[in-house]
Structure 1
Amino acid sequence: MPSFDFITAGDGRRLRTCVAEPENPSGRVCVLLSGQTEFIEKYGEVIGELTGRGFTVAAFDWRGQGGSERALADPLKCHVGDFSEFDDDLNSFMAAVVAKLSPSPLVLAHSMGSHLALRALHDHPDWFRAAVLVAPMIAVSTRGYPGWLTRIITGLHSGFGKSGEFAWGMERRDPHQITFERQLCTSDAARFERTQAILRAEPDIRLAGPTWGWIEAAYRSMNAMARPGYAEAIKTPTLIVGAGKDRIVLIEATRRFAARLPHGRYIELAESEHEILMEQDAIRDRFWTAFDAFVADAEATSSARSAR
């Protein structure tokens, strides 16, 4: 059974953590990083699949999400002042939890978690042996509005003291009001309902949509990641998995970024919506086949280097 605990981030924020041990340990550790508005319990199936492969799994809820401390008084607002705050979360988690488990874990991450993993791979090249990044947040869909316009609107709201307010329409993204037909993330109704059931049972861990401040912080980080030399500086073996029907992040931006990675591989699951790990079995089976092959290759390469 997973073991839950709490740690304190560098700036004092309280973060909820989880470690799940396999029945047959292999000595391998996987750091699991979730996306925006997500929470540890949503990944119960994924954690079981990882422990079934012999991995010890270490996960946590980012600040403002799940069971971690909220940033604002309204617990439904997804807010951060700058993505460096998320960096602090991951740094604190690596030091307090992961360092006790392994000096060279794997990282598996989704969406915003993949974006933050890329920041870590860039700034801390010795943290992870290899990375599997699912539907990374390289660039986001603006739902038909020009990107330059949404960027200006976001900057104006943040600049005029409205960074803590919901972006337009985001308060209506309370999961208690979202139906399978309205959501944009998965084609698997049963897995969508499983997540909804968790949130009905534990309503305090749910979030609606982001604030203007969160979106502005995301734009700053995405712009930095798009600069020449950023992707090229990431030397960790990395598998990026794109979702061909993604309506949350822009798949073409994902393809371009993956092509710039010196040790990157890219595969695309054509029939998948954004949440590949929450998709239908046929899609997930293809993901796990690619995951297993990549991890085996990365471990063989690492072992060969160690033997020299």
Structure 2
Amino acid sequence: MDRAPFYSDVADGPEGGRAFWLRTTDGVRIRIGLWTPADAIKGTVLLFPGRTEYIEKYGRAAADFARRGYATLAVDWRGQGLSDRLLDDAMSGHVQLFDDYQNDVEAVVAALDALDLPRPLHLLGHSMGGCIGLRAAMNGLPVASCGFSGPMWGIHISTPMRPVAWSLSWGSRQMGLSHLYAPGTKSNTYVLAEPFESNKLTCDQDMYDYMITQAKAHPELTIGGPSLRWLHEALRETFDLSRQPSPDLPCLTLLGTEEDIVDIPRIRTRMAAWPDGRLEELEGGRHEVLMDTATMRKRAFDLLAAHYDTASNRLTGPASRKGAAAQGG
């Protein structure tokens, strides 16, 4: 693995953050970022970011996890961050097939042994990363537990507009126009275009300024709205996932009560049926509860760390050791 650029000047994460290039089986170059403080020995959080996001945005989250004993690995998905962009218009949030993101996941998994990260591994998927992460967990991602924040298991679209979104995004493919931006979106970076007062991400001015500072300092990390192709792929993937059973893993999902980007009923329906699942709704939280007020962030990271601790203990507890011994482990 070759070293990749890492912008510690805006990440505000633990000391020693670093990044590497990986190459996927279909030839796309993606970037991963690591924070592995010496005292983060409980395990590693595989942090799957949302659409438009990038590694440095989770520097403060990595610091929160480090204080609770966990290392963090984050990834720039294809088409965003410093990973390969997929269109001539580098600001478009585009993907050919939603399943292509699983190639990115496979590249991360293939690199795990060489990275020598603290074990066990735990998943944290935010927004689009929650959609990618759920599919990866269904496919056997080697984690001890799942955590999700505002997962994109459906997109918040009004009932009258849902058939329009389906037909327009499908039709654009037939006409060779699927590279165009989805209606109502453009190349602008959200945090540079949307005033804090009307933003859907966070109630915390400092955290919003943190995002703005990153976007201004390193605009090459940012993207704008999704392409029609991305929209159609996302609608297909979330619909297919809604018909699949949840993986046999303990799961904690965090959801802000003021969520207005992803489909809340899809989240509640899945978590109500997840055998070892728990849904925590954080009062007043918007889409990014990991980047909201200090009180909400503390609550969110305390819940996640306790969830990961419990899952790790199940792997190392007396019952687990007895089972391993019986199998010659």
1:122 aligns with 2:170: no
Q: 1:140: Cα distance to partner?
A: 1.0
1:118-267 equivalences under 5 Å are 118-124=134-140, 127-142=142-157, 145-171=160-186, 173-175=188-190, 176-227=192-243, 230-232=244-246, 234-267=247-280
Alignment of 1:44-55 (within 5 A): 44-55=59-70
SS in 2 for 1:197: helix
- Partner of 1:66 in structure 2? 81
Look up the equivalent residue of 1:58 and give its one-letter code: L
**Aligned equivalent of 1:94:** 109
| Normalised TM-score (structure 1) | 0.93
Tell me if the contact between 2:151 and 2:262 (Cα under 8 Å) persists in the aligned partners.
yes
Return the offset for 1:190: 1.3
* 1:279 corresponds to: 292
For structure 2, the 5+ residue unaligned runs are 1-15, 323-329
Q: 1:303 aligns with which of 299, 310, 316?
A: 316
Further displaced range: 2-11 or 148-157: 148-157
Structure 1 residue 25: deviation in Å?
3.5
Q: Which residue type is aligned with residue 258 of structure 1?
A: M
Report if aligned partners of 1:243, 1:251 keep a CA contact under 8 Å in 2: no
Instruction: Note the C-alpha offset of 1:179.
Output: 2.2
Structure 1 residue ranges (4+ consecutive) displaced by more than 2 angstroms after TM superposition: 97-104, 143-146, 172-179
Structure 1 alignment gaps of length 5 or more = none
1:50 deviates by: 1.3
Identity %: 27
Distance 2:49 2:184 in 1: 23
Aligned counterparts of 2:47 and 2:250: Cα–Cα separation in 1? 17
The normalised TM-score by structure 2 is: 0.88
Distance 1:25-1:292 versus aligned 2 partners, 3 A rule: closer
